[in-house]
Structure 1
C-alpha cells in the first residue's frame, strides 16, 4: 500500500474540520430557529390580529357612512316637501336649535334677500337667504342680488344662502369672492342631522 504524503493528510484533516464546523453551524442554526419559534408565532399572531382590527374598523366606518347618507337623504326629502315659507321657518328653527338667539323668519315682500335673521352663539349677526328649489340650481344673479344687500343693508357679519338644490359655478365663484357661505342640499342635510357644521361654524 502506498504511503500517504503529508499534503494528503493535511487535506483530509482540513476536510474533516470543515465538515465538523458546518455540522456545528447547522445545529446552531436549527437551535436558534427552534428557540425563536414562539417569538415568530407571536409576531405573526399580532400582525394577523392587527389586520383583522383594521378590516373591522374599515367595515364599521363604511356602515356608518352609509347610515349617515341615508339619514341625510331622508332629511333632504322633508325640506323638498315644504313650501317656501315652511322652508324659511325650518331654517330659523335650525338656527335656534343650535344656539342662536333672536332667530326669526323675515322673508316676504321687500325683504331684500334676508329670509332669516339671527344672532349666532358668539354674538355675530347672521343673514340667510333661503332658496327652496327642485332641480333648478341657484344662479349668480340670485347671489349678486343677495350680495348687494346682505352686508350693506342687513349689516350681516355672517351671510349664507341655503338651498334644497345646488349652485352654479358662477354663483359659487361670486359667493367665494364675497365671503358668502353656500349650503346646498348636502350641506343642509348635514347641518340638520348634526353630522355637519352650521353656517356660522365655517
Structure 2
C-alpha cells in the first residue's frame, strides 16, 4: 500500500514538473516571437506602441523601429549604423532643412534615466558622420546632468513623453506634427560653467580645494 502511494505521489510530481516546464517553454517561445516581430520588415509600424517598446529585450529592436519610423515620416538619407563601431550614432537622417542629424537610441526601463554619457557619445560622433545636429531618443527620461550638458551643447533630447507624442502623431497620420517634435529646437543653456551660480550647473563648479592643494605643492 505504501509503495503504491509513493509511486502515485512520484507520478503526480513528474506530471506537475512536465506541465510547469511546458508552460515555461511556451511562455519563452511567445516572448521570443514577440521580440522577433520587431525585426521583421513587414510588421505594421503603426501597431507598435510605447508598451511594445518597453517589452523589447534590448536596444536593437528600438533602433530598428526608429529607423523605419524616420523612413515612414518621409525623411531622406536615413540609414542605421552597424551595431559595432558606430562611434555613438545608431541612426542617421537628413531633416527638412537638408541638415544631417545623428541619433543615439536608448531603450531604457522607465525607472532608469539616461545619463550624461549618451550626450557625450552622440555629440562626439557628429564630425565623423559630418552631421550638424545630434539627438538622443529614449523610452525613459534623462538625468539632470544629462539635460545640462545637452543644453550647453545644443543636443536635442527626446524623452518618453516626447516619444509617445511622436508615436501618437504618426498613428494619427499627422506627419508634420511628428516631424516638428523630432526637429524642434533643443533646450538651450547659455551660461558657461564659470558664470553659473550655486543653483545652476552645480555638478561642474570649480574645485577650489584642488586649486589650493596644487598651489601649496607648487610653492614648495
Q: Counting helix residues as a fraction of each chain, which structure ranks higher?
A: 1
Asked if the contact 2:102/2:122 (under 8 Å) is kept, the reply is: no
Aligned equivalents of 1:167, 1:99: Cα separation in 2: 28
The match for 1:28 is none
The match for 1:178 is 153
Residues paired across the two proteins, number: 128
Asked if the contact 1:100/1:120 (under 8 Å) is kept, the reply is: yes
Q: Does 1:79 align with 2:62?
A: no
* Greater C-alpha Rg: 1
Secondary structure of 2:141's counterpart equals coil
Post-superposition shift, 1:131? 0.5
Runs (4+) of structure 1 moved beyond 4 Å? none
The match for 1:193 is 168
Higher relative contact order (CA 8 A, sep 6+): 1
* Residues 121-146 of structure 1 deviation map (CA, whole Å, 9 limit, x = unaligned): 33110110001111211111232222
The match for 2:99 is 124
> RMSD of aligned C-alpha atoms?
1.8
Q: Does 1:108 align with 2:91?
A: no
Q: Label 1:143 to 1:86 Cα distance change in 2 as closer, same or farther (>3 A).
A: same
Aligned equivalents of 1:121, 1:99: Cα separation in 2: 9
Post-superposition shift, 1:158? 2.1
Q: TM-score, normalised to structure 2's length?
A: 0.54
Task: State which of 69, 74, 77 in structure 2 corresponds to 1:94.
Answer: 69
User: Which consecutive residues of structure 2, in runs of 5 or more, have no partner in the other structure?
Assistant: 1-47, 170-176, 186-220
Task: State which of 111, 135, 144 in structure 2 corresponds to 1:169.
Answer: 144
Asked if the contact 1:158/1:200 (under 8 Å) is kept, the reply is: no
Asked if the contact 2:81/2:91 (under 8 Å) is kept, the reply is: yes
The match for 1:142 is 118
User: Which consecutive residues of structure 1, in runs of 5 or more, have no partner in the other structure?
Assistant: 1-73
